[in-house]
Amino acid sequence: MGRPARTAVSIALFFLIWEGLSRSGLVNPTLFPPPTTVLRALIEMAKSGELVRDILASLWRAILGFLIGSSAGIVLGLLTGRLEKYDAYLSPILQIFRPLPPVAIIPLIIIWLGIGEVSKVFSIAFAVFFPVWINSDLGARSVPHSFLWSSRTLGCHYPSLIWRVILPSALPFIVAGLRVGISLAFVMVYVSELSGASAGVGYQISVSYLAYRVDRMIAALAVLGALGLASDLVLAKSLKIAFPWLKLDTST
Amino acid sequence: MIDEPEIELRNLRVHYGGREVIHDINLRVEKGEFVAIVGKSGCGKSTLLNALAGFIDKEGDVLLPANFGMIFQNYAVFPWLTVKGNILFGIDQERNAGDKIARLQLLLKMTDLTTEARKYPAELSGGQVQRVALARALARNPAVLLMDEPFGALDVYTREKMQTWLLEVWEIEKQAIVFVTHSIDEAIFLSDRVVVLGDGNILGSFRVPFGRPRAKALQFEVPFVELKKQIMDLLEGS
């Protein structure tokens, strides 16, 4: 049996066992609804227009927060990783904030920025920033001496050295940071939508919880997971198209 | 009248962690001269070259043209650029697009990489990647080439092909070359003069008496073997 067939069997078994367990009478089907009920809830959400509204709201927040957090992470990471002055000024402060769980800052952000879009996007950007920054910093520090020395003999110096040599050389590290960042973005989408939202997948989970609609909660969770997975796949695919050498170069 | 040298080192010293690793070296390389530096591992060959290039701190005087090319053992070819992109890296700021393209095409032809121009380094063999490194260094018409064990990572067959090929290219361009290697055979086959380095000092210098072009069979001839033995004896006594 090939790998795709094994995967299909595994998924089919997972849903069959779930369906069987929910209908066996051993568990309360209201608390543990079978997948067919979850699917019905999902169709109901799609028909009412809630699904599209929630997906668009969450995606917009995730993408904006990811873009802001990762851009800042890349720029500051390249500077702290390569230039002593920036490292001395910025790294100690950033290292103080880095161990904080991003979820822990949400109450403070709400007090400072309110419960609107700004605080949600900021929380997501905050969470995305740190893994991207630390990986970009590490990537910039790992640029081989021979690359820098060659560039010098070829007439390439700061500031163009940053985007012509340091950035592409650090790219494998940056990509690793971006992929961690995109999964964190979806964690933060969920958390930030728990309060002060009127749309979004996290909001849907929250209102379904209050209405005791476990089937809708599971449906929304599945959508959130699918969004995170799809975003990671789209990011990986786009990076491969934009930087074909990344998949070819095995030395990195 | 004595001609100005292309490269000159006077009283060159290099320190690492408070320890002197290059001791008061004086060396002169003439225009168009091919000098090989041989020595055991850790004797300071690469350090000498890096100090000469200005990559590491040093004491003493160094005369080196500003326009020089450097080739490393680990290639230092940029994996994110194609063969064409790597070769153009040093000359893409030049205004005359026609000159740039003509130079690129000449170098691709000279390095036998015309059909590989759109490939990335990861798609090439070790010998091809090293040819890209050389073409990139030659693109700016350097007066001097510094080569740090450029063929050290290649298999014996590819290494020999690259040596012959390097001499062919050098016959056209005729830069001064300082070529670091741990292979005495390679040093004698390629150079006009072999400088022997031991523990950060120049132990001796041997003029290579063979004419050019040189055939690989040269290394089996008696004068070649005798010269090799003299260099080996000097290194073993160090």
Q: How many domains are contained in chain A?
A: 2
Residues constituting chain B:
238
Q: Is residue B86 part of a domain?
A: yes
Which residues constitute the domain of residue B81?
A: 77-142
- The answer, yes or no, to whether residue B157 has pLDDT greater than 60, is yes
pLDDT band at residue B88 under the 50/70/90 scheme: very high
- In tens, the pLDDT along A81-136 reads 999 999 999 999 999 999 999 999 988 999 999 888 999 999 999 999 999 999 99
- The answer, yes or no, to whether residue A46 has pLDDT greater than 50, is yes
Q: How many domains are contained in chain B?
A: 2
The conformation of residue A223, written as its DSSP 8-state character, comes to H
Residue where a domain terminates, one of B107, B142, B177? B142
Residue B55 identity: F
CA nearest to A243 within chain B: B80
pLDDT band at residue B152 under the 50/70/90 scheme: confident
Together in a domain, B51 and B165: yes
ipTM more than 0.85?
Answer: yes
Which residues constitute the domain of residue A58?
A: 33-248
B123 contacts on A by Cβ (under 8 Å): 248
- The answer, yes or no, to whether residue B163 has pLDDT greater than 70, is yes
Residue B237 identity: G
Together in a domain, B43 and B104: no
pLDDT at A248: 44
Together in a domain, A19 and A117: no
The conformation of residue A83, written as its DSSP 8-state character, comes to -
- The answer, yes or no, to whether residue A175 has pLDDT greater than 50, is yes
pTM over cut 0.80: yes
Q: What is the dihedral of CA B158, B164, B169, B171, to 10 degrees?
A: 170
Percentage above 70 pLDDT, chain A: 98
Together in a domain, A86 and A176: yes
d(CA A70, CA B81): 24
CA nearest to A249 within chain B: B122
Q: Is residue B25 part of a domain?
A: yes
Cβ-nearest to B80 among A153, A155, A171: A171
Strand B7-16 with B59-63, pairing: antiparallel
pLDDT at B2: 60
Q: Are B31 and B77 in contact (CB under 8 A)?
A: no
The conformation of residue A165, written as its DSSP 8-state character, comes to I
3-state secondary structure of B20: strand
Domain containing B201 — which CATH number?
A: 3.40.50.300
Together in a domain, A127 and A3: no
- The answer, yes or no, to whether residue A249 has pLDDT greater than 50, is no
Domain containing A115 — which CATH number?
A: 1.10.3720.10
Picking from B57, B70, B80 by the largest number of A CB atoms within 10 A of its own CB, the best residue to mutate is: B80
pLDDT at A134: 97
Together in a domain, A7 and A75: no
Together in a domain, B154 and B166: yes
Q: Per mean pLDDT, which range of A56-65, A189-198, B223-232 is the poorest?
A: A189-198
Together in a domain, A10 and A43: no
pLDDT at B17: 84
- In tens, the pLDDT along B108-139 reads 988 889 999 999 999 999 889 989 998 999 89
Together in a domain, B159 and B203: yes
Cα–Cα distances in angstroms (integers) from residue A200 to residues A67, A186, B236, in the given order: 19, 11, 76
Picking from A154, A163, A249 by the largest number of B CB atoms within 10 A of its own CB, the best residue to mutate is: A154
CB within 8 Å: B79 and A245: yes
Mean pLDDT for the stretch of residues B46-63: 94
Together in a domain, B156 and B122: no
pLDDT at B41: 87
Cβ-nearest to B70 among A144, A149, A245: A149
pLDDT band at residue B238 under the 50/70/90 scheme: low
Q: Is residue B165 part of a domain?
A: yes
Q: Are B46 and B39 in contact (CB under 8 A)?
A: no
Together in a domain, B121 and B5: no
Name the strand (E) or helix (H) holding A11.
helix A3-23
Together in a domain, B134 and B148: no
- In tens, the pLDDT along B35-44 reads 999 999 889 9
Together in a domain, A114 and A164: yes
pLDDT at A251: 42
Together in a domain, B211 and B148: yes
B53 contacts on A by Cβ (under 8 Å): 149, 153
Q: Is residue B85 part of a domain?
A: yes
Mean pLDDT for the stretch of residues A146-172: 93
Q: Which of B142, B121, B122, B144 lies closest to B133, judged by CA?
A: B121
Cis peptide leading into residue A159 (ω within 30°): yes
Together in a domain, B36 and B149: yes
d(CA B122, CA B102): 26
- The alpha carbon of residue A79 is apart from the nearest alpha carbon of chain B, in Å, by 21
- In tens, the pLDDT along A177-197 reads 999 999 999 999 999 998 888
Mean pLDDT for the stretch of residues A40-63: 95
Q: Which of B45, B40, B51 lies closest to B14, judged by CA?
A: B51
- The answer, yes or no, to whether residue A250 has pLDDT greater than 70, is no
Percentage above 70 pLDDT, chain B: 98
Q: Which of B94, B95, B107 lies closest to B135, judged by CA?
A: B107
Together in a domain, B103 and B194: no
Together in a domain, A20 and A121: no
Q: Are B203 and B234 in contact (CB under 8 A)?
A: yes
Q: Is residue B11 part of a domain?
A: yes
